[in-house]
Structure 1
Amino acid sequence: MITMKDIIRDGHPTLREVAQEVVMPVSDEDKKTLNSLLEYIKMSQDPEMAEKYALRPGIGLAAPQINISKRMFAIHLEDDNRQHSYALFNPKIVSHSIEKTYLTSGEGCLSVDENIPGYVPRYARITLKAMDQDGNNVKLRLRGLAAIAVQHELDHLNGIMFYDHINQKNPYHEPENAKAIER
């Protein structure tokens, strides 16, 4: 089971590496890692379990955040009354909208302990191809919070932190052609 002690913090070199593709067919070890990422996220959202195991709540976790530089992440969230729960190997955005979006509350990260204010522009809609835990090819069309969360985790696979996207001169600059999401 992953705990907060397993999550590496901002400044650790693995967070700035481009993660390696997961070799197919997927090894049992990689499957176990991916399932443990999803398990952490689900447990972190259960107040009883979060308190019991001292877990910081999150909606996504990427393998590089537990010092495994491989292209896999898990997302678990509810958006627009729809449950999104994904554990994915080798995800790639294959198309995206021109329109942007951002969270009015800004973004946070389990690897970043301090609150970093500012808007993080993301694509409003994305189409993602990946492989699930069972080795099936999946194609997801996402928008809203789910699209933002996936882009945040994909950034981790590419050595990018969310605050790299914040306008340094004007953190609350509203991106052009962008729709705000209240959170």
Structure 2
Amino acid sequence: MILMEDIVREGHPSLRKVAEEVTFPIDANEKKLCTDLLEYLINSQNDDVCERYGLRPGIGLAAPQVNVSKRIFALHIEEEGKKPLSFVAINPKIVSHSVEKTYLTSGEGCLSVDRDVDGFVPRYARITVKAFNPDGIEFKMRLKGLPAIAFQHELDHLNGIMFYDHIDASAPYKNIPDATPFERD
């Protein structure tokens, strides 16, 4: 089970490296990593488990955040009135995106960042993505809203980019052209 102490924090070199492509079939360690990443997210959204193990809630976690430089991340998002979205993405790519942008009005956070970072992070409002599941089967999906934002945040981790790299330091709350703000419940 991944705990907070297993998650590397900003300044750690693995967060700034471009992660390596994964070859299939994946080995036992990679399979366990996939399971562990998703399990952390599910556990972190359960108040009792969070309290018992001192977890911070998260909706996405990438392999570089646990010091493994591989192109793997997990998302687990439960939104009111919507079907839960829960998957592991291996070698993920954005194959198309909208011109329209979006951003979380509350700003983004990260399990690897132990401080609040003020500012809007511009993201594509809608994306079409491709990735492989742990069994090596390719999947394609269209995402919008919070799932699209989270996918882009985790994909950035695989490219050595932190969310705050997108914030304009001189004007963190400046208007983002062609953007529709996204309010998180």
Category of TM-score, reference length = shorter chain? over 0.9
**After the TM superposition, which residues 1-183 of structure 1 pair with which residues of structure 2 at under 5 Å, given as runs?**
1-79=1-79, 81-183=82-184
Q: C-alpha separation between the residues in 2 aligned to 1:145 and 1:82? A: 13
Name the stretch that deviates more: 72-81 or 161-170.
Answer: 72-81
Q: CA deviation at 1:78?
A: 2.1
Q: C-alpha separation between the residues in 1 aligned to 2:8 and 2:95? A: 29
Q: CA deviation at 1:82?
A: 2.7
Q: C-alpha separation between the residues in 1 aligned to 2:21 and 2:134? A: 15
What do the CA deviations read for 1:52-81 (whole angstroms, capped 9, x no partner)? 111110000000000000000000012462
Q: C-alpha separation between the residues in 2 aligned to 1:67 and 1:100? A: 31
Q: C-alpha separation between the residues in 1 aligned to 2:6 and 2:113? A: 13
Q: C-alpha separation between the residues in 2 aligned to 1:83 and 1:174? A: 31
What do the CA deviations read for 1:110-162 (whole angstroms, capped 9, x no partner)? 00000000000000001110001222110011000000000000000000000
Q: C-alpha separation between the residues in 2 aligned to 1:25 and 1:92? A: 19
Q: CA deviation at 1:88?
A: 1.2
What do the CA deviations read for 1:17-56 (whole angstroms, capped 9, x no partner)? 0000011111121111011000000000000011111111
Q: C-alpha separation between the residues in 2 aligned to 1:134 and 1:56? A: 29
Conserved 8 A contact 1:60-1:149? yes
* Percent identity between the two aligned chains: 61
Aligned length: 183
Conserved 8 A contact 1:63-1:72? yes
**Regions of 4+ moved over 3 Å:** none
Conserved 8 A contact 1:3-1:40? yes
One-letter identity of the residue aligned with 2:31: K
Q: C-alpha separation between the residues in 2 aligned to 1:78 and 1:176? A: 29
One-letter identity of the residue aligned with 1:118: G
Q: C-alpha separation between the residues in 2 aligned to 1:138 and 1:27? A: 20
Conserved 8 A contact 2:119-2:172? yes
1:174–1:82 Cα change, 3 Å: farther
Conserved 8 A contact 2:25-2:135? no
